[in-house]
Amino acid sequence: MSGRTIAGKSIEAIGLGCMNLSHAYGQPPSEQQAAEVLMAAIDMGVDHFDTAALYGFGNNEKLLGKILKPYRQQLFLASKCGMTGVDGKRVIDGRPSTLRATIEQSLQNLQTEVIDLYYLHRWDKNVPIEDSVGELSCMVKEGKINAIGLSEVSAATLKKAHQVHPIAAVQTEYSLWTRNPEIAVSKACQNIGAALVAFSPLGRGFLCGQAIDVTSLVAGDIRKGMPRFQPQHANQNRGLLTTLVSLSKQLNCSLAQLSLAWLLHQGDHVVPIPGTTQVAHLRDNIAASQVRLNASQLSLLDKVFEHKQISGPRYPAATQLEIDTEEF
C-alpha cells in the first residue's frame, strides 16, 4: 500500500492536508511551527500537499509557496477554487470570471507556474457545473493547471463534469465514521479512473480517541457547530471507539494508524490526506501505510462503524445545503 496514482502521477499513499495549519480549528500554529510540520513532511517523504484559496483566506497557499518552493519539482501540489474569503466571509462562487481571478492569485501565492491538481472546492449551484469545469479546462490548455478535481459532489455531478473534461480526483470526507462515498461516488471514481481523496480521514480527531468537549473548544473551531460533537451525539459515538481500541492493541498500532489503514484497504484509488499541527502525529499517520488488516478485521470495522451506528449528521443544516454529496 506504499503508492497511489492521481492524474497519472505516482504519489505516496498518504498525503498532507494543510488546512489546519492556517484555518478552521481556532488559533492556527505560528508560521515557525507550521513550517516545521511542512519540512518534517518533506523529510519523511510526503509528496502530496493539499491546500485551497479558502484556507486562511490565502495565507495557507502563501505558507506553502514560501516553504515548499525549493522542493516544488518533486512534489504533487493541489489547491482549490470556487470557495474563497471575501470581506472576511466564506463565499461560494463558481463563475468562470471568479475562478480565473482565483487561479492567478493562487499561482502567485504558491510561487509556482503550474498547479498539479486544481479542485472546484464547492459546486456553486447557481452556475452549471459544465460552465465551471469548462473554465478549468481552459486553464489546463493554458498550462496553468495539470488536472481538474471536484470536491463534495455527487456521482451525477461528477458524470456531468467528466463529459466536459476528464476529472482526475474527487475530494470528499471519508473515514470510518463518514461512509457516504460508498453510496455512489467511490464507484463512480473507479469507473472513470479518478482518485478519491479522503479529507478528515480521522474524523476531525474523533478517530484518534481524542476526548473532544465542544464546551472547551476555542472560538473559531468549526467542530463547535458540528452535530456529531454535541453531547447528545458524542456520548453515543464514543462507544464506537471500544472496538477500535481493542483492535489497535492487537495490531500494535495507534487508533489513527488503524483508521487510516482501513481507508487504504478500501481501494487503490483512495488517497487519505490527514492534517496535523504536530510532527509526532505526522510521523504516526505516515506509518499507517505499513499496517495490514485481514478480511475478518475489515469486516469487523465495517460492521461496528456501519452508517446506521453513527449518531448525528456531519454538518449543520446550513452547510449541508451547500454540498452535493449523497447522504445516508
pLDDT tens figures, 91-125: 999 999 999 999 999 999 999 999 999 999 999 99
Report the alpha-carbon distance of residue 184 to residue 104 in Å, rounded: 34
User: What confidence score (pLDDT) does residue 210 get?
Assistant: 86
d(CA 130, CA 109): 27
Domain boundaries, the chain: 3-320
pLDDT in tens, the chain (328 residues): 579 999 999 999 999 999 999 999 999 999 999 999 999 999 999 999 999 999 999 999 999 999 999 999 999 999 999 999 999 999 999 999 999 999 999 999 999 999 999 999 999 999 999 999 999 999 999 999 999 999 999 999 999 999 999 999 999 999 999 999 999 999 999 999 999 999 999 999 999 998 899 999 999 999 999 999 999 999 999 999 999 999 999 999 999 999 999 999 999 999 999 999 999 999 999 999 999 999 999 999 999 999 999 999 999 999 999 999 999 9
**What 3-state class would DSSP assign to 221?**
strand
Q: How many C-beta atoms lie closer than 10 Å to residue 280's C-beta?
A: 9
Catalytic residues: 55
Nearest to 49 by CA among 57, 32, 61, 58: 61
Report whether 178 contacts 149 (CB < 8 A).
no
Q: d(Cα 313, Cα 227) in Å, to the nearest integer?
A: 6
Cβ proximity of 54 and 87 under 8 Å: no
Residue 45 has what pLDDT? 97
Beta partners for 84? 91
CA atoms within 13 A on the CB side of 79: 33
pLDDT at 211: 82
Q: Bridge-partner residues for 270, per DSSP? A: 196
pLDDT at 21: 97
**What is the DSSP code (8-state) at residue 178?**
B
Contact call for residues 17 and 275 (beta carbons, < 8 A): yes
Q: Does domain 3-320 have CATH number 3.30.470.10?
A: no
